[in-house]
């Protein structure tokens, strides 16, 4: 068939952790001559999201953007729970706008690719339109095993007794399960998990931003029905290459630092640490004696994040930070940071995109998971040899404070560890092979596109 007839619609979810991989997927499909319609729920939660979307239209004018206009909900407040989960709910309740939008697209769609947080909402819609629906799972395959199994793990009071055991896989201990899922009764995250995880069996396929050499066994277990019976195929087609071409001019400081000398610190777009922990971390970075680039964040949503660095760190600490480091309280192009030759280590919350950017660039990771899927991902970091996870450092919910000396010692350890650096470079090679012309991920993706032509 003619390639130009393959047309897919993409529906991302709220937050940069969900939007970024969808943007990369849109770019990749476009490079494979697939026509892409990008459905954009607006308004977005963060400024970073709206900026990335406007950059998409500049860089890829051939990708059509369609807005899904969200209406605020009276009975649910954005402040009552996580603003991002609230937004998931808004998108869910606006789903009646989807059928007319999808059927108006021309040429007609071959398939729809939906974020995992909307499988239960969108699958009935695409079913009624006779459209194949692929769910894009934006975290690790290991996390997917929990996602699809979660509904089977709940007791009569919707409580969880144990971790997850899958034959042939390392178990997921209860302590690594996202804390809101362990609470009795209901909360937004828990009902999203239950409903959407359950519905995954009805999707046409599950796309995962991972690759064979790091998660082979997990992908095999998913595809052999050992995790949950009746799942469609799990397609490991990652890691998605970065697609962002703009240069971040805020990174001039990095250009002046020696090769392999700078430690980068960021906890993603949605973690806000306590002021006390932020300062202890700053002390630790200073005491490590290393150069460092530190993205400071003390609010969940960037639009609220306007407190000055001096207020957050205090004048004294800020002065000492400046001796060898750079602290910023704004959005940096992280992929570009990690690609920079000056960078040699990364203290990360282990959001899946951050990890995929770290391994794409061969940067060793000091893992400090804060919530959600991050402990499960941190375990993977250790298993594949990309980095070190200090398991005693708690979730951000636990409000324990990790001390400066402890942080300083770990930073020094990571920055001076040659075997870790070599292993990280090895993973980088494998990542690039997987998405190269003859790589396992490329094969899967081209085979998938072929099925859309039928
Ligand atoms: Br902060 C920050 N610049 O300053 P994750 C983040 N990012 O480019 P999250 C920047 O946002 P979830 C910044 O490179 C990554 O692509 C970063 O995604 C980028 O974590 C993305 O790492 C963040 O998956 O989301 O945002 O906490 O909780 O969904 O994992």
Alpha-carbon gap, residue 204 to 191, rounded angstroms: 22
Digit-coded pLDDT (tens) for 325-360 = 999 988 899 999 999 999 999 999 999 999 999 999
pTM above 0.90, yes or no: yes
Say what the pLDDT of residue 244 is: 73
Digit-coded pLDDT (tens) for 72-87 = 776 655 555 677 778 8
Pocket test for ligand 1, best of 14, 17, 147, 192 (most atoms within 8 A of CB): 17
| pLDDT, average across residues 235-258 | 89
Q: Which of 97, 142, 108 is nearest to 234 (CA)?
A: 142
| pLDDT, average across residues 260-278 | 91
Specify whether 115 is catalytic: yes
From the list 7, 18, 87, 340, the catalytic residue is 18
Between the CA of 346 and the centroid of ligand 1 the distance, in Å, is 13
Say what the pLDDT of residue 398 is: 85
Stated length of the chain: 454
Between the CA of 48 and the centroid of ligand 1 the distance, in Å, is 10
Digit-coded pLDDT (tens) for 112-171 = 999 999 999 999 999 999 999 999 999 999 999 999 999 999 998 889 999 999 999 999
Describe the crossing of helices 47-59 and 16-31 by its angle, rounded to 10 degrees: 10
| Tally of CB atoms within 10 A around 47 | 13
Say what the pLDDT of residue 247 is: 72
Alpha-carbon gap, residue 156 to 85, rounded angstroms: 25
Between the CA of 353 and the centroid of ligand 1 the distance, in Å, is 6
- Where does the pLDDT of residue 245 fall: very low under 50, low under 70, confident under 90, or very high at 90 and above? low
| pLDDT, average across residues 290-311 | 78
From the list 7, 82, 87, 115, the catalytic residue is 115
- Where does the pLDDT of residue 92 fall: very low under 50, low under 70, confident under 90, or very high at 90 and above? confident
Determine which residue's CA is closest to atom 16 belonging to ligand 1: 353
Pocket-forming residues, ligand 1, beta carbon under 6 Å:
15-18, 20, 266, 268-270, 295, 331-335, 351-354, 357, 372
Interface predicted TM-score (ipTM) of this complex, two decimals: 0.97
Specify whether 18 is catalytic: yes
- Answer whether 71's CB lies under 8 Å from 86's CB: no
3-state secondary structure the chain: CCHHHCEEEEECCCCHHHHHHHHHHHHHHHHCCCEEEEEEEECCCCHHHHHHHHHHHHHCCCCEEEEEECCCCCCCCCCCCCHHHHHHHHHHHCHHHHHHHHHCCCCCCCEEEEEHHHHHHHHHHHHHCCCCEEEEECCCHHHHHHHHHHHHCECCCCCECCCECCCCCCCECHHHCCHHHHCCCCCHHHHHHHHHHHHHHHCCEEEECCCHHHHHHHHHHHHCCCCCCCCCCEEECCCCCCCCCCCCHHHHHHHCCCCCCEEEEECCCCCCCCHHHHHHHHHHHHHHCCEEEEECCCCCCHHHCCCCHHHHHCHHHHHHHHHHEEEECCCCCHHHHHHCCCEEEEEECCCHHHHHHHHHCCCCEEECCCCCCHHHHHHHHHHHCCEEECCCCCCHHHCCCCCHHHHHHHHHHHHCCHHHHHHHHHHHHHHHHHCCCCCHHHHHHHHHHHHHHC
Between the CA of 35 and the centroid of ligand 1 the distance, in Å, is 27
Determine which residue's CA is closest to atom 20 belonging to ligand 1: 351
Torsion angle, alpha carbons of 223, 226, 228, 233, to 10: 0
Which residue carries 């937050």 as its tokens?
15
| Tally of CB atoms within 10 A around 231 | 20
Digit-coded pLDDT (tens) for 94-114 = 999 999 999 999 999 999 999
């Amino acid at each position: 068939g003619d390639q130009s007839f393959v047309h897919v619609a993409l529906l991302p979810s709220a937050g940069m952790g969900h939007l970024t991989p969808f943007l990369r997927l849109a770019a990749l499909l476009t490079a494979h001559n697939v026509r892409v319609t990008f459905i954009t729920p607006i308004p977005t939660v963060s400024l970073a999201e709206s900026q990335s979307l406007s950059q998409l239209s500049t860089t890829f004018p051939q990708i059509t953007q369609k807005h899904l206009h969200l209406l605020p909900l009276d009975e649910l407040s954005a402040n009552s729970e996580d603003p991002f989960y609230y937004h998931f709910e808004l998108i869910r309740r606006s789903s009646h706008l989807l059928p007319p939008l999808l059927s108006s697209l021309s040429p007609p769609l071959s398939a729809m690719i939906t974020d995992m947080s909307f499988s239960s909402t969108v699958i009935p819609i695409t079913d009624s339109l006779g459209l194949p629906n692929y769910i894009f799972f934006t975290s690790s395959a290991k996390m997917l095993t929990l996602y699809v199994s979660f509904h089977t793990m709940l007791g009569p009071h919707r409580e969880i007794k144990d971790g997850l055991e899958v034959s042939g896989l390392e178990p997921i201990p209860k302590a690594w399960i996202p804390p809101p899922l362990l609470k009795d009764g209901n909360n937004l995250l828990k009902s999203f998990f239950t409903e959407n995880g359950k519905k995954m069996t009805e999707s046409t396929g599950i796309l995962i931003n991972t690759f064979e050499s790091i998660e082979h066994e997990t992908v095999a277990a998913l595809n052999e029905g050992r995790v949950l019976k009746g799942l469609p195929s799990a397609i490991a087609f990652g890691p998605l290459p970065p697609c962002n071409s703009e240069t971040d001019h805020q990174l001039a400081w990095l250009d002046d630092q020696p090769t392999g000398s700078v430690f980068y610190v960021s906890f993603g777009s949605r973690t806000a640490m306590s002021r006390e922990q932020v300062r202890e971390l700053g002390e630790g970075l200073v005491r490590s004696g290393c150069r460092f680039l530190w993205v400071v964040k003390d609010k969940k949503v960037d639009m609220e994040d306007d407190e000055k660095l001096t207020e957050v760190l205090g004048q004294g600490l800020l002065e000492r930070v400046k001796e060898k480091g750079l602290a910023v309280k704004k959005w940096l192009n992280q992929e570009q940071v990690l690609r920079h030759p000056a960078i040699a280590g990364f203290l990360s919350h282990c959001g899946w995109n951050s990890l995929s950017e770290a391994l794409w660039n061969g940067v060793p990771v000091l893992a400090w998971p804060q919530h959600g899927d991050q402990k499960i991902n941190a375990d993977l970091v250790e298993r594949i040899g990309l980095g070190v996870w200090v398991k005693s450092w708690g979730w951000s919910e636990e409000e324990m404070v990790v001390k400066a000396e402890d942080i300083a010692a770990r930073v020094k350890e990571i920055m001076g560890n040659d075997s870790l650096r070599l292993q990280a470079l090895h993973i980088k090679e494998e990542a690039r092979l997987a998405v190269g012309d003859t790589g396992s991920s490329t094969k899967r993706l081209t085979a998938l596109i072929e099925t859309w032509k039928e």
